[in-house]
Amino acid sequence: MNARLPAAERRHQLLATALATFAERGYHQASMNDIADAAGVTKPVLYQHFGSKRELFLEVLREVGGELRQRVREATIGAPSPHQQVLRGFEAWFRWVDEQRDGFAVLFDGEVRRDAEFLAEASKVQRQIADLIADLIAVDGLSEERRRLLAYGIVGLGESTCRRWLAKEIQLDADHLAAQVAELAWAGLRGLRPE
């Protein structure tokens, strides 16, 4: 068994172990026993921190979603130009995916889409990132509603590209891929005209 850790450290350890377990087995196939065993704790210790597998999975979704949002937000805030905002945003996204493949797998997994509560949490992440991106789309005369719609397209571009990149295990550097996708998005954004 693991040594006794302070509650915050134990919770962090359990979330990391749960993330890896859910990514490997999926929500339905993973059990609290699996997670407790992988963490080197007893099941009662796991239940001291999380009342149920559902509660634990929702917390994992919140954690990975919050980390992705924060990375994109921090990357774009200090960018000196709109073009750099696009590039830095995609770099942050692709680096996060490259470093946190389990997080991407869990957050964007099909199982998440089949459960209303899980879908709501994943959709919240997409909405918050889209809102962040929408605020960065600076096209005179383009309505807020149109900017938000286009921002969802940019989020979808990042998600779909990552799915293909990871599924095919293409040996491509995250920054190189981010630069290519950013140029694609930037070219499209530069061509936008309000109706």
Domains and CATH numbers, the chain: 1-51 (1.10.10.60), 62-190 (1.10.357.10)
Token pair of 173 as six digits: 């550097």
What would the two tokens of residue 6 be? 């302070």
Averaged pLDDT, 65-93? 91
Q: Could you report the per-residue pLDDT of 106-161, keeping only the tens digit for each?
A: 998 878 888 999 999 999 988 998 998 888 887 778 888 988 998 899 899 999 99
CB 39 within 8 A of CB 22: no
Judged by phi (left if over 0) then psi (alpha if -120 to 50, else beta), residue 72 lies in: alpha
Name the residue among 1, 2, 12, 50 with its Cα closest to residue 30.
50
Q: What's the rounded Cα separation, in Å, for the pair 47 and 32?
A: 9
pLDDT, average across residues 81-107: 92
- pLDDT, average across residues 7-34: 94
Share of the chain above pLDDT 70, in %: 94
Quick count: other Cβ atoms within 10 Å of Cβ 49?
Answer: 17
For the segment 14-23, the average pLDDT, to the nearest whole number, is: 96
**Three state DSSP letters for the chain:** CCCCCCHHHHHHHHHHHHHHHHHHHCCCCCCHHHHHHHHCCCHHHHHHHCCCHHHHHHHHHHHHHHHHHHHHHHHHHCCCCHHHHHHHHHHHHHHHHHHCHHHHHHHCCHHHHCCHHHHHHHHHHHHHHHHHHHHHCCCCCCCHHHHHHHHHHHHHHHHHHHHHHHHCCCCCCHHHHHHHHHHHHHHHHHCCCCC
Average pLDDT of span 27-34 = 95
pLDDT at 29 over 90: yes
Please say if the pLDDT value at position 186 is more than 50: yes
Is the Cβ–Cβ distance between 16 and 5 less than 8 Å? no
Instruction: Give 72's pLDDT tier (boundaries 50, 70, 90).
Output: very high
Each residue's pLDDT tens digit, 46-61: 999 999 999 999 999 9
Task: State the pLDDT at residue 3.
Answer: 60
Q: How confident is the model at residue 91 (pLDDT cuts 50, 70, 90)?
A: very high
Is the pLDDT at 1 greater than 50? The verdict is no
pTM, whole model, 2 decimals?
A: 0.86
User: What pLDDT shows up at residue 51?
Assistant: 95
